[in-house]
Amino acid sequence: MSETQFDLVIRNARVATASDTFMSDIGIRDGVIEQLGRNLGEGKKEIDAAGRTVTPGGVDGHCHLDQPMPPPARMSDNFDTGTRSAACGGTTTVIPFAVQEKGQSLQSAVDDYHQRAAGRAHVDYAFHLIVSDPTPDVLTRELPKLIAQGYSSFKIYMTYDDLKLNDGEILDVLDTAKKNNALVMVHAENADCIEWLTKRLEAAGHTAPRFHSHSRPMLVEREATHRAIALSELIDVPILIVHVSGREAVEQIRWARGHGLNIFAETCPQYLFLSAEDLGGDHDYAGAKCVCSPPPRDKGNQEVIWNALTEGLFTVFSSDHAAFNYGGTDGKHPEGEEVGFRYIPNGIPGLETRMPLLYSEGVLKGRITVNKFVELTSTNAAKAYGLHPRKGTVAIGADADLVIWDEREITIQNTMLHHATDYTPYEGIALKAWPGMTLSAGQIVWDGENFFPRSGQGRFLQCDAPSLLPKK
């Protein structure tokens, strides 16, 4: 065996990165891309990718796995089933959230979350923090320490009673982020408006799942998005507005960009492929399967989100996977009971379907280039969350996290997915592509038909400062 033999060579690939598309072989050793070029030397194993596109593995910068919940709700996916599902859908890095309960230290939230992940992950992972209790100790000691230790991004909420921050608290968190070079992700919905509307709907007997969207109209997202932008402007620190659902929030972000503000934005598959109609009719409880926040809007808003993706308004495209079973005792339809929309856990599964949905309906339908696809699903998340260039690209020295795409007809069915959730909101959608192979650290974890477990081989990644902006 020659000294220079690679562990694996992928030959004749049409490699797409966020900036270029080129023909190359990919030589992999010890889980890392060691060489790119034509006619590379031998590999112990070889894969011929002739005629197929190879992209970096996806970086899903917004997903919720095994996140502690107020009972009886329980997330259906943990680090085992969530990363299994991610891998089979082409995602090789996940960044879920270590959530601080009010009164809890951030460190204990992080310690608990490491225990939940330990020995389970099939692909690499990092943690965002959710800051729900920004006490002086959290702001001046815990956050700076954790940021320096590799937790360089955190999500804050403007809604949900157990998580929401008031404007003063948001300013404190943004100020800490600025001083410590961290990135704040903002869930922008106006809590008081939602509560007021919810009570009014309940008083009128309107509690079916479809009224979830009536309790969270676009106005509540628009107002909170506007306020988050103003707070970020006041501190002069970039923020990332997560799960942007439609026209009104898009307009706020466009306005901010036009005024030179560094506002990053994320959208998710549910705002391209689901609509308020999927929440059902007045007497249709199955719509609970699509209850998430912000809610899916109408078809016109789907087009707004597509256009915003095309024109470059969005920085990242994430799943916001927050999966609950429909059946059973701890999900959307607990013990078969039709609970009011207020009590339906918010969130839908989407880790496995995120990449194929956008590749098929975005790239293959000509809405976005394959390079834009890579930027949105992988490169920009790696940059935003301090993992680039180890993650998010195909380059010498990067981890060999790769997807070889199969352009074939496939109809999404929950039975073919690998999460532990008993439904997919995308059931029946016909696609023209699916990952034909996913490699994590140079190892095949999905071959288009079979999943190859790597339990516990997924590594925890410490995140550097975000590299979306030049360093000051």
DSSP strand pairing (434-440 vs 402-406): antiparallel
State the burial class of residue 44 (Cβ atoms within 10 Å of its Cβ: 0-12, 13-18, 19+).
Answer: exposed
Q: In angstroms, give the least distance from the CB of 467 to Zn ion.
A: 23
The SS3 assignment for 223 reads helix
Partner that binds at residue 173, options Zn ion, ligand DUC, none, CB closer than 5 to 8 Å by kind: none
Q: For residue 277, what is the enclosing H or E element?
A: none
- 322, 376, 387, 400: which one binds ligand DUC (CB under 6 A): 322
Task: Give whichever of 57 and 350 is closer to Zn ion, judged by the CB atom.
Answer: 350
Considering only the stretches 15-23, 71-79, 186-194, 244-252, report the one whose residues sit in contact with Zn ion under the rule CB under 5 A. 186-194
- 34, 248, 320, 401: which one binds Zn ion (CB under 5 A): 320
Site string for ligand DUC, 103-142 (x = CB under 6 A): ----------------------------------------
Partner that binds at residue 347, options ligand DUC, Zn ion, none, CB closer than 5 to 8 Å by kind: ligand DUC
Task: Give whichever of 64 and 333 is closer to ligand DUC, judged by the CB atom.
Answer: 64
Contact 92, 386 (CB under 8 A): no
Q: In angstroms, give the least distance from the CB of 322 to Zn ion.
A: 6
Query: In residues, how long is the chain?
Result: 472
CA distance 374 to 337: 42
The token pair that represents 303 in the structure block: 């087009």
Q: In angstroms, give the least distance from the CB of 292 to ligand DUC.
A: 3
- 164, 187, 216, 247: which one binds Zn ion (CB under 5 A): 187
Q: In angstroms, give the least distance from the CB of 270 to Zn ion.
A: 11
Asked if 320 interacts with ligand DUC (CB under 6 A), we say yes
Asked if 346 interacts with ligand DUC (CB under 6 A), we say yes
Of 385, 311, 433, 408, which is closest to residue 16 (Cα–Cα)?
Answer: 433
CA–CA–CA angle 456, 118, 183 (5° rounding): 105
Task: Give whichever of 22 and 343 is closer to ligand DUC, judged by the CB atom.
Answer: 343
Asked if 347 interacts with ligand DUC (CB under 6 A), we say yes
Asked if 76 interacts with ligand DUC (CB under 6 A), we say no
Contact 64, 70 (CB under 8 A): no
Residue-wise DSSP of 292-360: -SSPP--HHHHHHHHHHHHHT--SEE---EE---SSSSSSSSGGG----GGGSPP-B--TTTHHHHHII
Q: In angstroms, give the least distance from the CB of 94 to Zn ion.
A: 13
- 78, 93, 293, 325: which one binds ligand DUC (CB under 6 A): 293
Of 317, 299, 394, which is closest to residue 353 (Cα–Cα)?
Answer: 317
Dmax over Cα atoms in the chain, in whole Å? 77
Residues 178-217 that bind ligand DUC (CB under 6 A): 187
**Chain positions contacting Zn ion, by CB under 5 A:** 187, 320
**Chain positions contacting ligand DUC, by CB under 6 A:** 64, 187, 292-293, 320, 322, 346-347
